[in-house]
Amino acid sequence: MLALLPYRKDAKLNPTLGRRGNWVLDTDRAGSLFQLFIVSFASLYVEVMLIRWIGTEFRLFAYIQNLTLVACFLGFGFGCLKASEKPRCLFDFGALAFLVMIIELPWSGWKDLLDFVVGELSASSDLSMWFFASPPNAPIRSFLVGAGLVSGLLLLVIATMVPLGSWVARFLESSPHIVPAYSVSLLGSLVGVWVFAGVSFLHLAPIIWFLVAIALLLVTHPQPKKIGISGWVLIALCLGFIALDGRTIGKTIWSPYQKLEVIPDGGENYEINVNDSSYMSIANLTPEYLQKNPEMARLYAEGNSYDTPYRFVKIVGDVLIVGSGAGNDIAAALRHGAGHIDAVEIDPVIRSFGQKLHPERPYSSSKVSAVLDDARDYMRRSNNRYDLIVFGLLDSHSQSSSLSNMRINNYVYTRESFENAKRLLKPSGVLVLKFEIHAPHAWMGQRFYSMLDDVFARPPIAFYSPHVLELYSASVFIESQDPALWARAASPELAQLLKNQALPYAVSGDEMISPTTDDWPYVYQKTRTVPKIYWSVSAILILMAFLLVRKKFPYRRNLTWQFFFLGAGFLLLETQMVSRLSLYFGSTWLVNCIVLTFIFLVLVAANVVVDRAHSIRLLPMYALLVAALIAIYAAPWIQLPFGTRMVGILLGCAFSVPLFFAGIIFTESFRRAKGSGNFLGSNILGAVAGGIAQNCSFIFGMKALVLVAALFYAVAAVLALFSSEAETLPVQSGAVESA
């Protein structure tokens, strides 16, 4: 969340607050600094908790996860506007309880009903989203009902965060020594991010997440008894509904990325659900099991998406499997005589399922090297050469970051990724790409076909493998630089196989669906357009932002729009930094935490500079900021003669320059400005506009957002140049908090 907080050294304290039982706002005391630490910690912890939990429990929010981020931002910022009103509790546990009860109603068909209600918002033939479907001939009322449900959930998220924003703003505005107080706030925020990261790393369930949040609420409440009977009932219902959700027919574990449920399916076969959707399996194909089940053995021998591709491969020596999952692909490679296998999987819990439950014990083989990493990151850094590279059924249901709408695997299916894989193949090596493509989205199959044709300069061999036993169906594409592959495919046996198992949709070398690239990695989107669902949720967010800040938004004033564009530019700058660096360091939870920590440190450094300076000229700062953004856009990063990690470090350092100037500009502007509460409201609305402006990347690509951010800052500079509303006398500096 981006929170722009005004700090005034002359803020007045209410001396009666302590006698009424609330915290005393006196940051000269170590106790008050500790209180500031606690509320800052709680703000980030609750925010990240909500983003993670809603994204796994409500499918729409899983695919557009920054919906929750923007709602948290609006709630926190609106709380800052209400800092003069004394909050009753640390956060609104009533709103949180109702949010939990709506999503976790203990009825088996409830979540399916919720998905159906929002189906009219989400379904689109141009966007692949699992298990979403519009009602046939849905009237406008269906759309309005779906929009109303989403709006209601977002409003509950906003309400939960409002008191947290009020508390943080009250402590910071009342501080006579802003830099030490801000440092404490920053430390608390960082600890909040890392504590939740630790909770996720330990695979703890949401009941623990919420217990930590409730414990913070009770510890900071001056008189817990005054919560009242209704309050305790709401807290109990909140925790009870969360606990009931953990009671499933299988074993549920929360990895750092997603909710995973393992369901026994008999005979050492298992089904694995991700975020309550069927996702992968563990298949028992041991000789002993097949001997006892001759019908299953017959079906298995007829072919499947895991074993059939090996009929086209002559040499199975060194094998790379990206997305090795629970081990089915590894087991298939071992059955066909692989010499050595590098098995890459990003989720440690999924890998542990394969290590503990797979009956063939593929991860225990001495021929297997298990690598816990992002698949694209591994291929970029590896210099190994392989006889076979297998792209497993990587169809992620989880976002790479709360600051973007990209899924974890988006960078795996780009042209540059396929070129990396081609580089790792031996001269006679073979690449196998598998993907489960549903009929309404046949264009995804055409995209893979065209991209592989373009990269390897020859159309791939393509066929369809149906669901066999516990092995999932898939469209299979096979490529190589060796013409011998096509000679083998022309043999009577394989030619008949390709005829019998033709793709259930047409593909052509002449048709080109928009190829995915590192700059446009939206593999689940057909064309360079903004999907219907993004238009819908953008309208909802704009309306909410307007209703929240309309009374604080003096649209006739020049300075109002200056802060508006500062907020829009900064949010784009922050999201760009997180998204771009994940390409060079991997889309892992640890990388995201490190990048956010780096952003915190750069911004507090900017705040310290402004605090120590008597006056700062803003126009040179604006010029340097815009120039830095243009330089980042124009620089040929992929052509630099360095390793992947070094290029990523250089890009991170480059982004820190405009980030630092942005922090200085905002802090100095707030130091000079009158009516900081009104300008904070305009900045909130601007940040929401910046979040919505991310949709431009669906049309122009991700790099273009750097230029959009530069444009926003350039407009703010022009407004600052002609503004007559700024104070000339410096007051206590402001600060920027970001997470």
The yes-or-no verdict on residue 675 having pLDDT over 50 is: no
Q: Say if residue 566 is in the same domain as residue 454.
A: no
Give me the sheet containing 425-435, strands edge to edge.
Answer: 368-372, 340-345, 318-322, 386-391, 425-435, 474-480, 461-465
Tell whether 143 and 50 lie within a shared domain. yes
pLDDT at 405: 56
172 versus 252: the higher-pLDDT residue is 252
Our CA dihedral for 444, 448, 454, 456, rounded to 10 degrees, sits at -170
Residues 6+ apart with CB under 8 A from 107: none
Q: Which long-range contacts (CB under 8 A, 24 or more apart) does 214-220 make?
A: 214/93, 214/238, 214/239, 216/38, 216/41, 216/42, 216/45, 216/90, 217/89, 217/90, 217/91, 217/93, 219/38, 220/23, 220/35, 220/38, 220/39, 220/42, 220/89, 220/90
> DSSP letter string over 569-605?
HHHHHHHHHHHHHHHHH-S-HHHHHHHHHHHHHHHHH
CATH classification at residue 424: 3.40.50.150
pLDDT at 265 over 80: yes
Q: In what order do the strands lie in the sheet with 277-282?
A: 251-254, 259-264, 270-274, 277-282
Q: Specify whether 569 is located in the same domain as 683.
A: yes
Distance of CA 244 to the CA centre of its chain: 26
Task: Work out the percent of the chain whose per-residue pLDDT is above 70.
Answer: 84
Instruction: Give me the mean pLDDT over the 186-192 stretch.
Output: 84
211 occurs within a structural domain: yes
Question: What's the mean pLDDT in 497-514?
Answer: 85
Q: Is 498 exposed, middle or buried (0-12, 13-18, 19+ CB in 10 A)?
A: middle
Query: Predicted confidence band at 171 (pLDDT cuts at 50, 70, 90)?
Result: confident
The reply to whether 367 falls in a domain is yes
pLDDT band at 63 (very low <50, low <70, confident <90, very high): confident
Task: Show the tokens assigned to 502.
Answer: 């033709």
Mean pLDDT over 168-190 rounds to 73
Query: How far is Cα of residue 225 from the mean position of the Cα atoms in its chain?
Result: 39
40 and 151 housed in the same domain:
yes
Q: What percent of the chain lies above the pLDDT cut of 90?
A: 31
- Tell me, yes or no, whether 240 and 310 share the same domain: no
pLDDT in tens, 709-737: 999 999 999 988 876 544 433 433 333 33
Is 633 within a domain?
yes
Residue 15's pLDDT is: 35
Task: Residue 329: name the closest of 285, 298, 366 by CA.
Answer: 285
Task: Tell me which of 468 and 231 has the higher pLDDT.
Answer: 231
Look at 216-220, 225-229, 324-328, 678-682 and tell me which has the smallest mean pLDDT: 678-682
Give the domain range for residue 493.
302-500
DSSP 547-567: HHHGGG--TT-HHHHHHHHHH
Q: Which residue has the higher pLDDT, 14 or 199?
A: 199
Q: What mean pLDDT comes out for the span 525-532? A: 84
The answer to whether residue 702 scores a pLDDT higher than 80 is yes
Q: How far apart are CA 618 and CA 624, in angstroms?
A: 10
Average pLDDT (9-21) is: 38
Examine residue 22 and state whether it is found in any structural domain, yes or no.
Answer: no
Interior/surface letters 413-434, b for 16+ CB within 10 angstroms, e for the rest: bbbbbbebbbebbbeebbbbbb
Q: How far apart are CA 421 and CA 480, in angstroms?
A: 11
pLDDT at 627: 96
What are the angstrom distances between the C-alpha of 434 and each of 315, 347, 472? 19, 19, 10
- Asked if residue 84 is part of any domain, the answer here is yes
Give the model's pLDDT for residue 9.
Answer: 37
- Helix, strand, or coil (residue 205): coil
Mean pLDDT, to the nearest integer, of 117-132? 61
46 located within any domain: yes
In the block, which residue shows the tokens 């008949």?
Answer: 496
pLDDT at 138: 54
Q: How far apart are CA 59 and CA 314, in angstroms?
A: 42
- Whether residue 739 is predicted with pLDDT greater than 60 in this model: the reply is no
Domain count, the chain: 3
Higher pLDDT, 517 or 531: 517
395-441 pLDDT, tens digit per residue, is 655 554 444 555 667 888 999 999 999 999 999 999 999 998 877 78
pLDDT level of residue 176 (50, 70, 90 thresholds):
low
Q: What average pLDDT does the segment 160-188 reach?
A: 76
Instruction: Say which residue, 130 or 639, is predicted with more confidence.
Output: 639
657: confidence class by pLDDT, cuts 50, 70, 90: very high
pLDDT digits (tens, 9 = 90+) for 25-41: 443 444 577 888 888 89
Whether the Cβ atoms of residue 570 and residue 690 lie closer than 8 Å to each other: yes
| pLDDT over threshold 80, residue 75 | yes
406 and 479 together in one domain: yes
When pLDDT is averaged across residues 669-692 and rounded to a whole number, the result is 69
Q: Give yes or no: residues 488 and 579 share one domain.
A: no
- Please give the structure tokens belonging to residue 121: 């918002």
C-beta atoms surrounding 326 within 10 Å:
29
pLDDT of 111 > 50? The answer is yes
Contact of 43 with 172, CB cutoff 8 Å = no
pLDDT at 21: 42
Q: Is residue 690 part of a domain?
A: yes
Q: Cα angle vertex 656, ends 587, 398, to 5°?
A: 20
**Residues 6+ away with beta carbon under 8 Å from 113:** none
475 and 557 share a domain? no
What pLDDT is stored for residue 676 in this prediction? 55
Same domain? For 579 and 490 the reply is: no
Q: What is the CATH number of the domain that holds 577?
A: 1.20.1250
pLDDT for the residue numbered 360: 92
Give the integer Cα–Cα distance in Å for 677 and 570: 19
The mean of the pLDDT values for the chain is 81
> Which tokens belong to 128?
């692949």
The mean pLDDT value for 301-308 works out to 83
Do 446 and 580 fall into the same domain? no
Q: Is the distance from CB of 310 to CB of 288 less than 8 angstroms? A: no
573 assigned to some structural domain: yes
Q: Are residues 89 and 184 in the same domain?
A: yes
Q: Is 523 helix (H, G, I), strand (E, B) or coil?
A: coil
581 pLDDT higher than 50: yes
Q: Do 379 and 488 reside in the same domain of the chain?
A: yes
pLDDT for 450 beyond 80: yes
Last residue of a domain, one of 466, 500, 534: 500
Q: Across the chain, how many H-helices and E-strands are there?
A: 27, 13
Query: Which residue type sits at 138?
Result: A
What pTM was computed for the model? 0.83
- Of the two residues 371 and 130, the one the predictor is more confident about is 371
pLDDT score of 19: 38
User: Rounded to an integer, what distance in angstroms lies between the CA atom of residue 582 and that of residue 401?
Assistant: 9
Which of 279, 282, 280 lies closest to 270, judged by CA? 282
Among the ranges given (90-104, 123-137, 237-251, 574-588), the one the predictor scored with the smallest mean pLDDT? 123-137
